[in-house]
Amino acid sequence: MKAEGKRRIWDEYQKEIAGDKYFYVRSCVRQNFFPGAEKTFLRYMKEMGKTVYENPSHTTCSGIGYHSDIVPFETAMTMVARQFALMTESGYENFVTSCITSFGLYTEVLETWHHFPELEEKIRLHLRNATGREFKKPKNLAHASDVTYKLRKEISRAGKYRLVNRNTGEPIRVVEHIGCHYSRMFPSKGVGGAEYPYVLVGMIEEWGGQVIDYPERRHCCGFGFRQYLVKANRGYSISASKKKFDSMKPYKPEMVLTNCPGCPMFLDRWQYTLSEMEGTTYGENGQGIPVLTYEELAGLILGYNPWDLGLQVHQVPVEPLMDKMGIPYDPETKFLDKNGHSMGKPKSPSFLKFY
Amino acid sequence: MENTVIVIGGGISGMTASGMLALQGMKVTLLEKEAETGGHVARWDRLFPDRKKAAEVLDFAREGMKNVNVVTGAEVTGISWHDKGFTVTSGIMQPASSVPGPESLIANSGSLINEIAAGESNYTARALVLAMGFDLFEARKKEEYGYGIYNNVITSADLEEKFKSGKDILTSEGKIPARIGFVHCVGSRDEKVGNLYCSKVCCVTGVKQAIEMKEMYPSAEVFNFYMDLRMFDRHFEELYYEAQQKWGVSFIRGRLAECAENPDGTIILKTEDTLTGKPLKMTVDLLVLLSGFVPASGTAKIAGMLGLQRGTDGFVNSADSHSMNNLSGIPGVFLTGALKGPISISEAIADARATALLLADYLKSGKP
């Protein structure tokens, strides 16, 4: 592997990312999947002195329906136009999405309007007729992982921990997995392009870790929308995840880092399912491979309480990673809510080592 | 000024055209931006379909250029035309000491140089031949194939260099490759990279190189991944048959989707065998990308200086692609070789000779 070859590609795919004053739109599903991730983003953005505004009237972008073939494109475009109207009404110009599919959809809509301005006019009319709203297009569109990538050095400077094994001094070996809708449709809109995306690699390297490239790096996480959303297809979903784990295992990854709602969900949950189905685990000593969102990892680097990050709801325990990084945690408070009440403890899996 | 010609580009097309023009009594100056003439052919070992040494073809072309004034390291920076013909300005790209001075050029060629100013030379002639040729498609642009990233992914040009060196061809780990893959149409017939055209000679190059690898390593398994094989010229089809029947080369109809590197440095391929309708995943020790043609880097610039039309593919349009394929539409400006599109060496030689014939007639009659 020639690192300079990758660096050359990375140099060619750099994008402009606004520095402050962001209009933030949340994901439909992330708060159910990994409930602390978005909150953590808002927390470190505030600590870095950045203004992030959320408008309570914002809705789904409809991307999940669009990519599942149940929402027509014109409807999706009108939903997107409404989000832009909220941004305009709120006095913001820099649009930041939490969800990768939303980012892909917003990008696709803006590109469509660029090439077919008559469609933009049509959608403006739809929105006007339906809601009376008008909008300006964002000056800057970024995914929240782009913004975190932009702040990676500041996070590193403010950080208390590094992606380094404190016992050996070796960098933590990290698999990075990018959501399909981040840059595969429009490579120039993602940091690092489509084939060798850099957005997560940049964070991992800056925070001390070592990135693993493995043969099935580009393969789907297992979500793939209809692979999972259509119940009869779920065998495809889990077999896609299995293919990835089998491929990455020889490289002994110590964690997986993601930037999509679906990827951490499936790479995390299916490890449990695979262990129950086949008795197979992919980490060291019967452990799984912890799967984190970039917000959760940034939170760990910054020294936030792991249970405030929501790491207790991960199916694959994150404790082995925290032990390596020297991050303290209190097992006694793991399953207590913020008022100190027990949330109940999940049943231990049959094979996957549980903490 | 009588019978003076400037040829821009010193590949096989420019060399042949220069030689033919000189043979007809023209005073020819050939401007080549590289340090040596020969172009792509100089970097090739053997040629399809008969495996003739590329060097022999170049020697033949050079033999005809004895009376041609060759200026290497000369990048064209400007072209102007006037009632007597054309003035071409070129920057000297090599150390001044190695560039012939105006006196020596006048002595050799009979008088083409009018002046030299700081690092630049002006050459005047009654006619121009444009022979800028082509560049190879930069294989790294097909990012999913990993050229420049995975150690055991090389191009057909890299492989020719290895053949030319006469050394064993080994993997980056120093092993004899037991499985070798050739990928056709890299940068050609590919909407994703913006090149819809066929590069014409990659198919037969892939067949030739596959045979050469089998000759070197008879026990190696060799696979060619192709969309369709365009064996358009004489003996090409026979070579394709030979590859299959004598050498056991496997041809798999399917475009490579992507490749990745295994822990041991081997390359894992994902493709589809479209004849059986099945996805295919296999590992090779060495992967060769058959890079196609793209317009030479200087073509857009020089065409722009003259106001010549280029197609959407970037190659220069001739006055008429059937009957006036060597004419540019500007009196006195002639086109030859691969600047008009992908072309084989034998075609380039024939085209250059035709250009020389038409140009000689133009100088004689004053009519294009």
Peptide bond just before B49 cis, omega within 30 deg? yes
ipTM score of complex: 0.85
- Could you say which of B150, B151, B260 has the minimum Cβ distance to residue A217? B260
Residues A90 and A220 both lie in one domain:
no
Confidence of residue B108 (pLDDT cuts 50, 70, 90): very low
- Cβ of A9 within 8 Å of Cβ of B143? The answer is yes
Residues A124 and A216 both lie in one domain:
no
Residues A132 and A255 both lie in one domain:
no
Q: Are A224 and A236 in contact (CB under 8 A)?
A: yes
Q: Is A75 left (phi over 0), alpha (psi -120 to 50) or beta?
A: alpha
- Flag whether pLDDT at B62 surpasses 80: yes
- Flag whether pLDDT at B24 surpasses 60: yes
**Which residue on chain B is closest to A250 by alpha carbon?**
B263
Kindly state the tokens that stand for B244: 């299959």
Does the residue A3 lie in any domain? Answer: no
CA distances from A21 to A24, A25, A94 (A): 9, 13, 7
User: CB distance from B260 to chain A under 8 Å?
Assistant: yes
Among A144, A176, A205, the domain boundary falls at A144
User: CB distance from B143 to chain A under 8 Å?
Assistant: yes
Buried/exposed code over A191-201 (b: 16+ C-beta within 10 A; e: otherwise): bbbbbbbbbbb
- The predicted model gives B22-45 an average pLDDT of 96
What does pLDDT average to in each consecutive run of 10 residues of chain A (355 residues)?
89 94 96 95 98 96 93 97 98 98 98 98 98 98 98 98 98 97 94 95 98 94 88 93 96 97 96 96 94 98 97 96 97 94 93 90
Spell out which residues of chain B touch residue A215, defining contact as CB-CB under 8 Å.
260-262, 268
- The predicted model gives B284-295 an average pLDDT of 98
Q: Looking at residue B91, what is its pLDDT?
A: 86
Chain B neighbours among A 203-222 (CB < 8 Å)?
Answer: 213-218
Does the residue A87 lie in any domain? Answer: yes
Chain B neighbours among A 137-196 (CB < 8 Å)?
Answer: 193-196
Chain B neighbours among A 220-259 (CB < 8 Å)?
Answer: 250-251
Q: Do B136-293 and B4-133+296-365 fall under one CATH topology?
A: yes
Residues A54 and A177 both lie in one domain:
no
Confidence of residue B110 (pLDDT cuts 50, 70, 90): very low
Spell out which residues of chain B touch residue A196, defining contact as CB-CB under 8 Å.
143, 149
- Flag whether pLDDT at B98 surpasses 60: no
Alpha-carbon distance of A279 to B43, in angstroms, equals 56
User: CB distance from A7 to chain B under 8 Å?
Assistant: no
Domain count, chain A: 2
Alpha-carbon distance of B222 to B249, in angstroms, equals 5
CA distances from A326 to A200, A320, A321, B361 (A): 22, 10, 9, 85
| Helix (H) / strand (E) containing B179 | strand B179-186
Does the residue A340 lie in any domain? Answer: no
Residues A139 and A164 both lie in one domain:
no
Chain A neighbours among B 324-353 (CB < 8 Å)?
Answer: none
Does the residue A241 lie in any domain? Answer: yes
User: CB distance from B262 to chain A under 8 Å?
Assistant: yes
- Flag whether pLDDT at B106 surpasses 90: no
Does the residue A92 lie in any domain? Answer: yes
Q: Looking at residue B93, what is its pLDDT?
A: 56
User: CB distance from B150 to chain A under 8 Å?
Assistant: yes
- Cβ of A2 within 8 Å of Cβ of B148? The answer is yes
Distance from CA of A12 to the nearest CA of B (A): 11
User: How many CA atoms, within 13 angstroms, populate the side-chain half-sphere of residue A96?
Assistant: 27
Residue spans of the domains in chain B: they are: 4-133+296-365, 136-293
Residues A80 and A213 both lie in one domain:
no
Residues A223 and A137 both lie in one domain:
no
- Cβ of B260 within 8 Å of Cβ of A216? The answer is yes
Residues A56 and A133 both lie in one domain:
yes
Alpha-carbon distance of B31 to B72, in angstroms, equals 6
- Cβ of A8 within 8 Å of Cβ of B261? The answer is no
Does the residue A11 lie in any domain? Answer: no
Residues A55 and A81 both lie in one domain:
yes
Residues A253 and A135 both lie in one domain:
no
Instruction: Specify the amino acid at residue B314.
Output: G
Mention the CATH class of domain B4-133+296-365: alpha beta
Alpha-carbon distance of A26 to B299, in angstroms, equals 50
Alpha-carbon distance of B207 to B236, in angstroms, equals 9
- Flag whether pLDDT at B111 surpasses 50: no
Structural domain boundaries enclosing A317: 158-333
- Cβ of A215 within 8 Å of Cβ of B260? The answer is yes
* Residue A99 CB-density burial (10 A; 0-12 exposed, 13-18 middle, 19+ buried): buried
Among A144, A168, A186, the domain boundary falls at A144
Does the residue A170 lie in any domain? Answer: yes
Q: Looking at residue B109, what is its pLDDT?
A: 40
**Which residue on chain A is closest to B282 by alpha carbon?**
A215
Spell out which residues of chain B touch residue A216, defining contact as CB-CB under 8 Å.
260
Alpha-carbon distance of A50 to A305, in angstroms, equals 22
Spell out which residues of chain A touch residue B146, defining contact as CB-CB under 8 Å.
5
Does the residue A110 lie in any domain? Answer: yes
- Cβ of B143 within 8 Å of Cβ of A193? The answer is yes
- Could you say which of B146, B151, B263 has the minimum Cβ distance to residue A251? B263
pLDDT digits (tens, 9 = 90+) for A129-148: 999 999 999 999 999 999 99
Provide the whole-model pTM: 0.89
- Cβ of A1 within 8 Å of Cβ of B148? The answer is no
- Flag whether pLDDT at B94 surpasses 70: no
Of the two residues B94 and A145, the one the predictor is more confident about is A145
User: CB distance from A279 to chain B under 8 Å?
Assistant: no
| Assigned CATH topology for domain B136-293 | FAD/NAD(P)-binding domain (3.50.50)
Residues A171 and A114 both lie in one domain:
no
User: CB distance from A8 to chain B under 8 Å?
Assistant: yes
Distance from CA of A148 to the nearest CA of B (A): 26
DSSP B66-102: TTSEEEESEEEEEEEEETTEEEEEEEE-S-GGGSPPH
Q: Distance from first CA to last CA of chain B, Å, rounded?
A: 18
pLDDT digits (tens, 9 = 90+) for B320-351: 999 999 999 999 999 999 999 999 999 999 99
Residues A182 and A322 both lie in one domain:
yes
- CATH number, domain at A67? 1.20.1050.140
